[in-house]
Amino acid sequence: MDQLLQFVFSGLTVGAVYALVALGFTLIYNASDVINFAQGEFVMLGGMVTVFAVAAGMPLPLAALVAIAVAVATGLALHRLAIEPARGASAVTLIIVTIGASILIRGLAQMVFDRQFHALPAFTGEEPIRVLGASILPQSLWVLGGAAAIVLALWLFMERTLLGKAVRATAANRLAARLVGIDTTLVLALAFGISGAIGAIAGILITPITLTSFAVGTLLALKGFAAAMLGGMGNPVGAVVGGLALGLLESLAAGFISSTYKDAVAFLVILGVLFVLPQGLFGRRAVERV
Amino acid sequence: MLRVEGLRSGYGRIEAVKGVDLEVAAGEIVALVGANGAGKTTLLRAISGVQPITAGRIVFDGASIEALLPHARVARGIAQVPEGRQVFAPLTVEDNLRLGAFRRGRAETETTLAEVYALFPVLAEKRALPAGGLSGGQQQMLSVGRAMMARPRLLLLDEPSMGLAPLLVDQILEAVVRLRAQGLTVLLVEQNASAALAIADRGYVLETGRIAHAGAGRALLDDPRVREAYLGI
């Protein structure tokens, strides 16, 4: 029982990061039908830039802000330099563009930073908190709390502000969005910028627990993608649920079967979803009259 | 107010609009009728800027606008009610309307919103419901209302009668006539030629991408060639 609870805690922590990556996928997918496989690189940049900024003598909060700014700038540049010039190309072409971009970003990170693994100090101490016989790291609470705060902020933006509604309108019907005067190019740039910020924050929060290196983005992108598929591509609630569920599955598989197969879980989930539930858990089944 | 000169547009190698000239004066209702695939929708989309053009000019209020992006044309005062209504289905009725005023100020939005609700009271009743759940007629009203929210001076209407019961068609067209009385200029595209020409000051008949006939609404309605080809009489 204690052990199970322990696996649940660590699963939810990792799952929260997958959920944030999946949210980034969802945002961009909804604005453009593009699946941005460079999403994992934002997470990598968040961790790596923070590590190196701290090493250069910056206080952690400032370093984190710098890292977020770098990721946002990378997201905007990706949109401006790679996606926008290819406008009108098929979604598959654009997806391949994002894969190329992710390889480029990883390569640059390797040159600018290094090939080592790096850690950050935990934000508020390393002393585990005992809960019902299991222990939870204070940093896990930061991850879960941070993820919850991002989800809430994003929800408020989407539901309560006119600009957020314009993003949803663009997702629902791009032609109509352009006809009411929404600059859909700007909306897409915004989606890339926000996705960059969300990814970076996820990377900063998780680095004290899982370490980071220039290469962590690839696997994170795949797992975030699996999470988004599980939840139903394009559905933000699905992204969060899918992320947490994938984290739990992984943690339980690592705990009860073998940690060797931990990374296989995400791929089994992708295959399972494609075979059994192509729409995902929260896929679009909305009834619309036409 | 609007002048289109030698406009050409198409999809890949297929040219849908092959050099169209037309004019809409301030305060007019102009009907653009023609069979399915005559290029009516392509022409309207080109005027709004969501369909690229290969040649020609679009002059609005004396200035060329063919290089402007769609949102800049909305800001100049051109709004469109697209074919098939195209409401933002998951968003509420009121959010749909507010997004129509995306290029407008906040204070202005509230007054216009009240006006649209007065024009279509059913929308006020359903303001908090998702637009996708409305009936076809209500979605059409929402689409017209959303375009009104931009406070346009020129309203482009694409097939507002499509898929609607005759009673609803009358209701929508009545709303158009009432809006014109308030000073709006209207370019109305319709397959339902008799209904459109009946309320129009002038009309154009589009045939495979070219203007085949032009004239006063009533005159076209009485023209034996038009009657035979488009009215089935």
- Give the per-residue pLDDT at A266: 86
pLDDT by residue (tens digit) across B183-211? 999 999 988 888 888 899 999 999 899 99
Residue A152: DSSP 8-state: H
CA distance A17 to A35: 18
CB proximity B95 to A under 8 Å: yes
pLDDT by residue (tens digit) across B16-55? 999 999 999 999 999 999 888 889 999 999 999 999 999 9
- Give the per-residue pLDDT at A284: 63
CB proximity B132 to A under 8 Å: yes
- Share above pLDDT 90 across residues of chain A, in percent, rounded to a whole number: 73
Nearest-by-Cβ selection for A181 from B87, B98, B150: B150
Beta partners for B24?
A: B2
Beta carbons of A22 and A150 less than 8 angstroms apart: no
Residues of B in contact with A168 (CB under 8 A): 88, 90-91
- Share above pLDDT 70 across residues of chain B, in percent, rounded to a whole number: 98
Nearest-by-Cβ selection for B50 from A179, A183, A288: A179
CB atoms B86 and A179 under 8 Å = yes
- Give the per-residue pLDDT at A289: 45
Complete domains list, chain A, with CATH = 2-276 (1.10.3470)
pLDDT by residue (tens digit) across A137-180? 999 999 999 999 999 999 999 999 999 999 999 999 999 999 99
CA distance A275 to A230: 12
- Give the per-residue pLDDT at B231: 64
Mean pLDDT of chain A: 91
B100/chain A closest Cα distance in angstroms: 5
| Lowest-confidence region among A133-147, A273-287, B2-16 | A273-287
Q: What residues 141-160 of chain B have any CB closer than 8 A to a CB of chain A?
A: 146-147, 149-150
Taking the CA atoms of residue A179, residue A182, residue A185 and residue A191 in that order, the dihedral angle to the nearest 10 degrees is -130
Q: Any idea what the Cα angle at residue B146 is, between residues B80 and B85, rounded to 5°?
A: 65
B224/chain A closest Cα distance in angstroms: 35
| Lowest-confidence region among A230-239, B34-43, B59-68, B222-231 | B222-231
Calculate the alpha carbon distances from B35 to B159, B208, B220 in Å: 12, 8, 15
| CATH dotted code for B1-77+154-159+185-233 | 3.40.50.300
Measure CA of the first residue to CA of the last residue in chain B; give whole Å. 34
Question: Which amino acid makes up residue A144?
Answer: L
Is residue A36 within a helix (H) or strand (E), and if so which, with residue range?
none
CB proximity B98 to A under 8 Å: yes
Pairing of strands B154-158, B185-190: parallel
pLDDT by residue (tens digit) across A181-222? 999 999 999 999 999 999 999 999 999 999 999 999 999 999
B89/chain A closest Cα distance in angstroms: 7
**Which among A276, A194, A271, A234 is positioned nearest to A91, based on CA atoms?**
A234
Interface test with B, best of A179, A187, A235, A289 (most B CBs within 10 A): A179
CB proximity B118 to A under 8 Å: no
**Sequence ranges of the domains in chain B:** 1-77+154-159+185-233, 78-151
Of all residues in chain A, the one with the smallest CA distance to B149 is A180
The whole-number average pLDDT for the span A255-269 is 85
Nearest-by-Cβ selection for A162 from B84, B98, B134: B98
CB proximity B109 to A under 8 Å: no
pLDDT by residue (tens digit) across A13-69? 999 999 999 999 999 998 888 899 999 999 999 999 999 999 999 999 999 999 999
- Give the per-residue pLDDT at B92: 96
A187/chain B closest Cα distance in angstroms: 12
Residues of A in contact with B103 (CB under 8 A): 181
The whole-number average pLDDT for the span B138-158 is 95
- Give the per-residue pLDDT at B232: 61
**pLDDT of B142 above 70:** yes
**pLDDT of A288 above 50:** no
- Give the per-residue pLDDT at A278: 81
